[in-house]
Amino acid sequence: MRAFQVQSFDTPARLSDLPIPAPAKGQVRLKIHACGLNFADLLMQTGRYQDTPQVPFTAGMEVAGVVDALGPDTEGPAIGTRVAAFGGQGGLAEYGVFDVERAVPLPASMSFEQAAAFQIASGTSHVALSYRADLQPNETLLVLGAAGGVGLTAVEIGKLMGARVIACARGQDKLAIAKNAGADHLIDATQDDLRTAVKNLGGADVVYDPVGGDQWKAAFRACNPDARLLPIGFASGEVPQIPANHMLVKNLTVMGVYWGGYLKYKPHVVTDSMAHLFAWFTQGKLSPHISHVLPLDQTAEAMSLLKARKSTGKIVITLP
């Protein structure tokens, strides 16, 4: 089978020919039809992600496909079932093996491309806003990187939860996408002073931040008392320091969100969230935004689009 493999942190990942893997006990093998890309895939290729596997490994964190085989003495979805799975790696390949409890049957109306774009982005935002921040109706949610893979889902889910959403993104084209997703107010990160703009809108009660850097610092200073801040990632490349004295004065709460971590010690948080999200999808209330769909042999180009921030929503790789 073909697979996009990271063989060294010092050399670019590339397509390789590998044997088709056999599922072990407790595993399911999928014929993969689509794989969603995430910023973490870029970090993994250089060994900078918190959950980077040992080399060599096949990249690709979230997939959708058809159950092809079950491991010995393993009960799971029947062969032929359409499922999504989060494996953390192994998704950019024609076949992959994953823990059977990670294989979630898809709604009949959900395509493989939609499913591959759905889990991490929508799951992260829902767990962050609902389970972690306890976002309430009529609160003000500030979303940074609001046209990106996770940011756009935070705009949509925040609106579904009844919040007033302020979207911050780079340029009018990206802001238009955030507005279409339900944002009430727009801030152009290339022109507007973020802190001033948010304060003029009444301040933020919850901050959703996949960017870090200077935007985090400005958002931090634009928070209302008792606000909750959610560091999701650091696409800017800068992990900001948190001024504890300002937290103290305003009674602020900073809470980290690592969606994949819950699969290891509180899996019910993810499974309950995913059931909620699938229900919203089948009701037509939520739909993943996909900006690029490319074949496996263009994975390197897709990674370049992700790195250059030329995508909005998700990039999905398809496999025959």
Per-residue pLDDT tens for 280-309? 999 999 989 999 999 999 999 999 999 988
Structure tokens at 269: 């948080």
Within a domain: residue 189?
Answer: yes
Could you read off the pLDDT of 101-154 as tens digits, one per residue?
Answer: 999 999 999 999 999 999 999 999 999 999 999 999 999 999 999 998 899 999
Q: Are residues 137 and 251 in the same domain?
A: yes
Q: Are residues 25 and 39 in the same domain?
A: yes
Written as one letter, the residue type at 215 is: Q
Distance CA 274, CA 122 (A): 9
Q: Are residues 177 and 251 in the same domain?
A: yes
Q: Are residues 172 and 210 in the same domain?
A: yes
Within a domain: residue 276?
Answer: no
Q: Are residues 129 and 220 in the same domain?
A: yes
Q: Are residues 145 and 181 in the same domain?
A: yes
Q: Are residues 185 and 93 in the same domain?
A: no
On whether the pTM is more than 0.85, the answer is: yes
Within a domain: residue 279?
Answer: no
Is there a contact between 121 and 143 (Cβ–Cβ < 8 Å)?
no
Structure tokens at 5: 């493999």
Question: Once rounded to an integer, what is the mean pLDDT over residues 5-24?
Answer: 95
CATH number of the domain within which 163 lies: 3.90.180.10
- Residues 6 or more apart in contact with residue 196 via CB below 8 angstroms: none
Distance CA 189, CA 187 (A): 6
Within a domain: residue 266?
Answer: no
Q: Are residues 140 and 201 in the same domain?
A: yes
Containing structural domain, residue 111: 2-118+288-318
**Total tally of structural domains belonging to the chain:** 2
Distance CA 26, CA 45 (A): 28
